[in-house]
Chain A
Amino acid sequence: MDDNPKDLDQSSERSHVRRVFHAMLTARILENKLGSLYKAGKIVGGVYLGKGQEAVSASMAACLEKGRDVYAPLIRDQAGRTAFGEEILDCTRTYLGSVKGPMRGRDGNIHRGRPAEGMLAMISHLGAAIPVIAGMLLAKRLKGELDGVVGATCVGDGCTSTGAFHEGLNTAAVEKLPLILTVANNQYAYSTPNDRQFACHDLVDKALGYGVRGHSVDGTDMLACIKVMQEAVTRAREGDGPQLVVASMLRLTGHGEHDDGSYVAAALKSSGLGRDSIEVGMKQLIEGGFATVEEIEQWQQEAADQVQQAVAIAQKEDDPDPFKDDWMAYSNPEMQMQR
């Protein structure tokens, strides 16, 4: 059977779909746990979840190859992080302030990454990662290593109003860089609805203005997201330049766990946008024969165990010690002023 190329494609497609859903599911279970830890007062600072956006997030990052491609996740990209290959421990250690986490207690929650492994550590300023990913791709071009490589980042509807979004996407377009820029339009930037954020009919129309290819997708539909992301990433890899993907859905949680999201219109919640992409994806998985109910239940159990273990490990680890931190903002110690 493996000798038939068509079957081979189907089998790799099957494993891709399973991989996307597995990352979505793992992220949801991890995020549910983070929410509980927050409510139990175990997390210092905010908790920001991606509930409802898992399909978009995971389907983009699952197309990336760690070690070759570069990725800048944002606030609601736990599923993408998992799909890209971030360890659950990186998440729990950062949220719980373990000194062993990638940020060593110097930064927290979603502000984490491993830039040396191609995953940026986001700053809070929206759109700021767009030109940075473009710069990483530009450096690869200068080194002659860009062939077949892509960079990807995800932003929200609110980010499209920033200068950084405009400058970053325009610059990537001028340089024809293989950038996939996904806008997860979850209808609200914190509490601000779309009609107070932008006046255009559809955000994807912006693609024309930037001279890049635009893609639209129902962000609650896992299989549709997978298809569109595969197309966008393939086009970028093949030299088609930046790809703007606009996915629509609803944020099924507050801006952060401190926020009950009570401002979200009831009509939106009961609309198609309010569908939970995990539920949609599970149905698609079973109906499409990608996985059985038993398999999904097993994944759920495995993910819950992994999350539990990662929380337990991080909780046992030391907090950062102000007397042991080197307080070094410079790689060159000669540049560090002591006061």
Chain B
Amino acid sequence: MSDVTYIDAIHAALDEAMERDPDVFLYGQDIGKFGGAFKATKGLQEKYPGRVLDAPISEDAMAGVAIGAAIEGARPVLEMQFADFSSVAFNQIINQAATHYYRTGVPVPLTMRLPSGGTPGSGPFHSQSMEAIYSHYPGLVVVTPATVADAHSMLLDSIAMNDPVIYCEHKFLYRWLKSENLSGDRLPIGKARITRPGKHATVVTYSAMVHEAVRAAEMLYKDGGWEIEVVDLRSVKPLDTDTIIASVARTGRLLALGEAFPWGGVTAEVVSRVCADGFHLLDAPPVRLNSKDTPIPYHPKLWSSHRPTPESIAEELRKLLDY
């Protein structure tokens, strides 16, 4: 069998979820006959007539419709064409979907897929990472799969979940990331994974940055035999603090790495929780590495310096190891 890509895994999970449960339906812009901007829903409208619905360019109403359908017992999977555009749907997601179970006791089983993160040439409005913003709100689950198997199993788990899930899929991984098949360890949502074991420092990261972290770890291993542990958060809300703390206990050093903007966010949360719960485990001040604090630039030369790279990650790790 030929390789399975990350976007294939998403497509397969949507197909399986629809096959398994007649209450699952897909809603989003251009997802019907056209198959979606990234072809995540290619062929599904033909296969499941009436259950793959093209939406008008109305992200706020799309989210509202998905919420209403979920309250009524359906399992909508909402595709935002780009994570960036979910800002238009923000009100419905954080005020309606996130608060609904706490207020009324009626859950909102919707999944919102956010094609996230940067790719060369995409610019400020097709590159954003929104996971931190959604994670801020109680009631939302936010997942950030980094592997082909996770893209598959976590999407199935998201759709099966009775609470609203923000599923952040990284566009850079869509066609670049391949695997022999879809099978994996099927860790549940809420559990982080040690992607690469090590003993000298821990990199806590998620989504596409897991792969950049592994590259940096390889560079440092070749460089001086440094063994860097890479923790893939998998879900950023809930955050698996236990796995993070256990890793820091082994290594004594922490680099929190993310592709999102530097103010606040997932990396700040990781560092603050490690400092509060595992300060005594640290042999060096924890370090954060994020994108630069500017909008995401269009030109590939600017873009590739805006986000962390294996080189910039390795440089931060060297400083951390030298401390």
Contacts and interface: CB of A to CB of B under 8 A. Distances in A.
B104 interface: yes
B102 A135 contact: no
A136 B70 CA distance: 8
B161 interface: yes
B190 A134 contact: no
Contacts of A106: 102-103
Interface string B67-106: 1111111101000000000001001100110111111101
B139 interface: yes
A143 B74 contact: yes
Contacts of B76: 135
B162 A115 contact: no
B25 A135 contact: no
Given A134-B68, A329-B138, A170 B61 contact: yes
Interface in B217-246: 237-239
Contacts, number: 153
B96 A329 contact: no
B238 A336 contact: yes
B101 A335 contact: no
Nearest to B163: A330
Interface residues of B, number: 51
Contact of B64 (A134, A328, A337): A134
Contact of B163 (A103, A125, A128, A335): A335
Contacts of B104: 102-103, 113-116, 121
A136 B102 contact: no
Contact of A103 (B69, B73, B103, B162): B103
Contact of B106 (A115, A134, A171, A334): A115
Interface stretch (A28-36, A161-169, A292-300): A161-169
Nearest to B91: A125
Nearest to A130: B64
Contacts of A143: 23, 73-74
Given A128-B92, A128-B96, A139 B64 contact: no
Given A140-B72, A337-B237, A134 B65 contact: yes
B64 A168 contact: yes
Contact of A131 (B60, B138, B141): B60
Given A131-B60, A142-B74, A337 B239 contact: yes
Interface string A91-120: 000000000001100110001011110001
18 contacts: A102-B104, A111-B103, A121-B100, A125-B91, A135-B72, A136-B71, A139-B69, A164-B91, A170-B58, A171-B61, A171-B65, A328-B101, A330-B141, A330-B163, A331-B162, A332-B163, A334-B188, A334-B190
Interface of B: 23, 25, 50-51, 53, 55-56, 58-74, 76, 88, 91-92, 95-96, 98-104, 106-107, 138-139, 141, 161-163, 188-190, 237-239
The 5 A-B residue pairs with the shortest CB-CB distance in the complex, in nearest-first order: A135-B68, A131-B64, A167-B61, A139-B72, A167-B58
